Amino acid sequence: MEADTDGTKIRIGAEQKMQVRSIKTLLICLLSLTLLLLTACGNTDKGSTSSTKTMSVGLVNAPTSFNPINTGDIAGQFIERFMFDSFLDMTHPLKFEPKLAESIDTTDNQTYKIKLNPKAKWSDGKPITADDVVFTFNLIANPKSEIAVGAYLSALEGMDNSGKLKKGETAIPDLKKVDEHTVSFKTKVPVDPNYIKEMIGTKIITLPAHVLQKIKPEDLANSTYMQAPNVTSGPYTFVKYVKNTYVQFKASKNYYLGKPKVSSMILKIMQAPNLVDELKTGGIQMTASGGNGNISFQDLKTVQQFSNVKTQLNKQIGYQTMMFNTKTIKDAKVRQAIATAINREQIVKQLLKGYGDIVDGPYTKINPYLNTKMKTIGYDPAKAKQMLKDAGFDFNKTINLVVPIGNKVREQSADIITQNLKAVGIKVNETTYDFPTVMQKGKAGDFDLLLIGLGFTIDPDISSVYAPGGAYNFMSYNDPESTKLLEQGKLEPDSSKRHAIYNQLQEIWDRDMPIFTLYSSDDTVAVGKDVAYGGPASFWPGTAHNLQKWSYKSTK
Place 296 in a pLDDT band, splitting at 50, 70 and 90: confident
Task: State how far the Cα of 269 lies from the Cα of 32, in Å rounded to an integer.
Answer: 10
Of the segments 29-43, 314-328, 451-465, which one has the largest average pLDDT value?
Answer: 314-328
**Percent of the chain whose pLDDT exceeds 70:** 90
Look at residue 50 and tell me whether its pLDDT is greater than 80.
no
DSSP state of 349: I
Q: Could you tell me which of 188, 200, 179 has the C-alpha nearest to residue 159?
A: 188
> Confidence band (pLDDT; 50, 70, 90) for 498?
very high
Sheet strands side by side (includes 101-106): 101-106, 111-116, 182-186, 176-179
Residues contacting 375, CB < 8 A, separation 6+: 360
* Cα gap 148→226, rounded to integer Å: 14
Cα 48 to Cα 553: distance, rounded to the nearest angstrom? 11
Confidence of residue 365 (pLDDT cuts 50, 70, 90): confident
Is pLDDT above 50 for 44? no
Residue 220: its pLDDT value, please? 95
Crossing angle for the helix pair 272-281 and 297-304, nearest 10 degrees?
A: 10
pLDDT in tens, 301-325: 999 999 999 998 888 888 999 999 9
Average pLDDT over residues 408-422: 95
Amino acid at residue number 53: K
Q: Which domains does the chain have, with CATH numbers?
A: 48-63+234-310+526-552 (3.40.190.10), 88-220 (3.90.76.10), 319-521 (3.10.105.10)
- CA angle 504/508/511 to nearest 5° reads 140
pLDDT of res. 72: 81
**Average of per-residue pLDDT values in the chain:** 89
- Is a pLDDT exceeding 80 seen at residue 273? yes
17-21, 219-223, 388-392, 460-464: segment of lowest average pLDDT: 17-21
Confidence of residue 10 (pLDDT cuts 50, 70, 90): very low
Q: Which amino acid is at 465?
A: V
Distances in Å between the Cα of 55 and the Cα atoms of 147, 151, 281, 493, 530 are 31, 34, 14, 43, 11
236-242/246-251 β-pairing: antiparallel
89-146 pLDDT, tens digit each: 998 888 999 999 999 999 999 999 999 999 999 999 999 999 999 999 999 999 999 9
pLDDT at position 345: 97
Q: How far is Cα 175 from Cα 42, in angstroms, rounded to an integer?
A: 46
Going by pLDDT thresholds of 50, 70 and 90, the confidence category of residue 483 is very high
CA distance 530 to 276: 17
Could you tell me if 158 and 172 are in contact, meaning their C-beta atoms sit under 8 angstroms apart? yes
Indicate whether 256 pLDDT > 50. Answer: yes
pLDDT higher than 70, residue 57: yes
Q: If 0-12 CB within 10 Å is exposed, 13-18 middle and 19+ buried, where does residue 361 land?
A: buried
Q: Model confidence at 555, in pLDDT bands (50, 70, 90)?
A: low
Per the CB < 8 A criterion, the answer to whether 283 and 42 are in contact is no
Region of 425 on the Ramachandran plot (φ > 0 left; ψ -120 to 50 alpha; else beta): left
How many other CB atoms are found less than 10 A from the CB of residue 44?
9
Asked if residue 259 has pLDDT above 90, the reply is yes
- Bridge-based pairing state of the strands 515-521 and 319-324: antiparallel
Handedness of CA 130, 135, 136, 141 (dihedral sign): positive
DSSP sequence for 5-73: TT-PBPP--HHHHHHHHHHHHHHHHHHHHHHHHHHHHTT--TT--GGG-EEEEEESS--S-S-TTS--S
Q: What is the pLDDT, as a whole number, of residue 52?
A: 54
Can you give the pLDDT at residue 536? 83
Classify burial at 95, counting beta carbons within 10 Å of its beta carbon; exposed 0-12, middle 13-18, buried 19 or more. exposed
Q: Distances from the Cα of 242 to the Cαs of 246, 263, 279, in angstroms?
A: 5, 19, 21
pLDDT (0 to 100) of residue 368: 86
Q: Which residues contact 354 (CB under 8 A, 6 or more apart)?
A: 348
Model confidence band, residue 366 (pLDDT cutoffs 50, 70, 90) = confident
Q: How confident is the model at residue 490 (pLDDT cuts 50, 70, 90)?
A: confident
Question: Lowest-confidence range among 18-22, 463-467, 496-500?
Answer: 18-22
pLDDT band at 73 (very low <50, low <70, confident <90, very high): confident
At 290, the pLDDT band (50, 70, 90 cuts) reads confident
Mean pLDDT of 376-401: 97
Percent of the chain with pLDDT over 90: 75
Give residue 31's pLDDT.
Answer: 43
- pLDDT > 70? residue 9: no
